Structure 1
Amino acid sequence: MFSLLLLLYFWSSKKQFVVVRFSAEAKYCTLDAGKNVKILSWKYRLQIAMDVAQGLEYLHHGCKPPIIHRDVKTTNILLSENFHAKLADFGLSKIFPTDGSTHVSTIVVGSPGYLDPEYSLSNWLTEKSDVYSFGVVLLKIITNRPVIERSHERNHISQWVSFMLAKGDIESIVDPRLCGDYNINSVWKAIEIAMVCVSPTSTKRPTMEQVVAEMKECLATELSKSEGGYESESRDSIEMIKYESSF
């Protein structure tokens, strides 16, 4: 299942065009459930995150020249009836040069809470800005909490997750409506992936190729939960980093 609504793009030194597929039946990604609607299971949430990660991987590593989406957020993710996710809205996307440049200097645009703080301060855009935004999306998928709290403190979702991790209270991080119906190892893995993606320093963030590889392991762990018992902890592939506030 292809994870982009992108069909083709045209690039030259003077003009850039992106052509996307119109999807009339797709719905915006939302974790909120109305009446008589089942809560999205943990397995489906991981599959949605995987689809988005694969879409970004293609933009960064499959397109020539690469494309930076620049506005990855839950409302720019469309879901099919089978809960396959497609990354949409390329209105802010940016072509990344192939001349060896490490970044693009550009006016800062994006959505509050999903915007890479390093890009916001420096005006230097890289593919790691999309990685940061993906990390925020993944935290939202895990917790179903607001990206920015509506309280006076206006704390970011990553700050709250970091606080809960420091308390060792991982189960309180997960959307309580799941009622514990998940493999705790896959939850650990997903949180680790998300937190390393939202590192304030871009050089500490993984590439989307690395993220896809880790998400595959995470999803495989969840799918195998019916085959046997659980291990007590999972710390295999991504080292947990302590989130340092940059807000």
Structure 2
Amino acid sequence: MALVYEYMSGGSLRTYLTAGKDSNVRVLSWEERLRILLEAAQGLLYLHTECNPPIIHRDVKTANILLNHMLEAKIADFGLSKAFQDNRSHIPTIAGTQGYVDPEYYSSFKLTEKSDVYSFGVVLLEMVTSKHPIIVGGREKIHLTQWVKQNLAIGSNMDDVVDSRLFGRYDVNSAWKVVELAMSCCSETSAQRPLMSHLVSELKECLDLVLGTSSVMDTVRSSSSRRIAFEVAKNGESLLPDGPSIR
């Protein structure tokens, strides 16, 4: 028996989030991150609603989100996947990866599509912060959801939570929205978590926010460039002969 996958030359999403300064892997832009999240969410929605019978992935994590050369995302590794009927399946042993497993699963062994939603919530936070689901500090370990909660509870702004490698180049409103979605996905009880259909809709809105902001900024830059060119032509000399370059 063999399982054949399409070759995904971009590797796993986790590789991009853990790459150091000396790595050849570039840092994903905020827009790219949102596109990848949306595509991954659409993949999970397909498993939950379009497959017959529906399928629970059971091991949703950034290492199982693969990218092609265009950075298009696909959900991979269905080794732990389980078809379910009536939105519920009983699994006698814990399956999944530490940090991503639904906390309800440990006590009830009842597996639902909301188990994938919890794991995807952790993926959302990973994409925002580029941190591992289990953060190790000295002898202590803390889950990423708790780390984000603690930072926001003490009044930290989004810059203290978002991946520092972005150097502030992200849309704040969409970042807050993604964090809020992640926290709702990671609710302790499955009844409080959203469906994948809701996540797909909300992530589309996040991407629209970014694309709208980019469009506005492009218009502003274009307008500024035209104004500067006009002033230069009118005065017959450069306005900024010794000043910093304009980008």
> Which residue of structure 2 lines up, in the alignment, with residue 179 of structure 1?
167
Conserved? CA contact 1:18–1:90, under 8 Å: no
Rounded to whole Å, the distance in 2 between the matches of 1:199 and 1:145 is 19
Aligned positions of 1:1-247 closer than 5 A? 21-23=5-7, 25-29=9-13, 30=15, 31-33=17-19, 34-35=22-23, 37-97=25-85, 101-106=86-91, 107-151=93-137, 152-169=139-156, 170-228=158-216
Q: Show CA shifts across 1:82-108 (max 9, x none).
A: 1111110000000011xxx34211122
Shift of 1:24: 5.5
The structure carrying a bigger helix percent of its residues is 2
Q: Is the Cα contact below 8 Å between 2:58 and 2:115 reproduced in 1? A: yes
Q: Name the CA distance, whole Å, in 2 between partners of 1:54 and 1:209.
A: 8
Post-superposition CA distance 1:213-240 (Å, at most 9, x none): 00000111011112348xxxxxxxxxxx
Separation in 2 of the partners of 1:194 and 1:24?
26
Deviation at 1:20, TM superposition (A): 5.4
Q: CA deviation at 1:134?
A: 0.3
| Whole-angstrom distance in 1 between the partners of 2:33 and 2:113 | 24
Per-residue Cα deviation, 1:88-142 (whole angstroms, up to 9, x for no partner) = 0000000011xxx342111221100000011122100000000000000110010
Distance, in Å, in 2 between the alignment partners of 1:20 and 1:50 is 24
Q: CA deviation at 1:165?
A: 1.5
Superposition CA RMSD, Å: 1.9
Q: Distance in 2 between matches of 1:186 and 1:18?
A: 41
Alpha-carbon offset, residue 21 of structure 1? 3.1
**Which stretch has the larger CA shift, 110-119 or 22-31?**
22-31
Q: Is residue 49–residue 138 contact of structure 1 (8 Å, CA) maintained in 2?
A: yes
Q: Aligned residue for 2:228?
A: none
Query: What's the offset of the Cα at 1:149?
Result: 1.3
In the TM superposition, residue 32 of structure 1 has moved relative to its aligned partner by 3.2
Q: Which has the larger radius of gyration?
A: 2
Q: Unaligned stretches of 5+ in structure 2? A: 218-247
Note closer, same or farther for the CA distance 1:69–1:18 as it changes in structure 2 (3 Å cut).
farther
How many Å apart are 1:36 and its aligned residue?
5.0
> What is the identity percentage for the equivalent residue pairs of Structure 1 and Structure 2?
50
Query: SS where residue 149 of structure 1 aligns?
Result: strand
User: Which string of whole-angstrom CA distances, capped at 9 and with x for unpartnered residues, describes residues 140-174 of structure 1?
Assistant: 01001121012222110000001112123222010
Secondary structure in 1 matching 2:100: coil
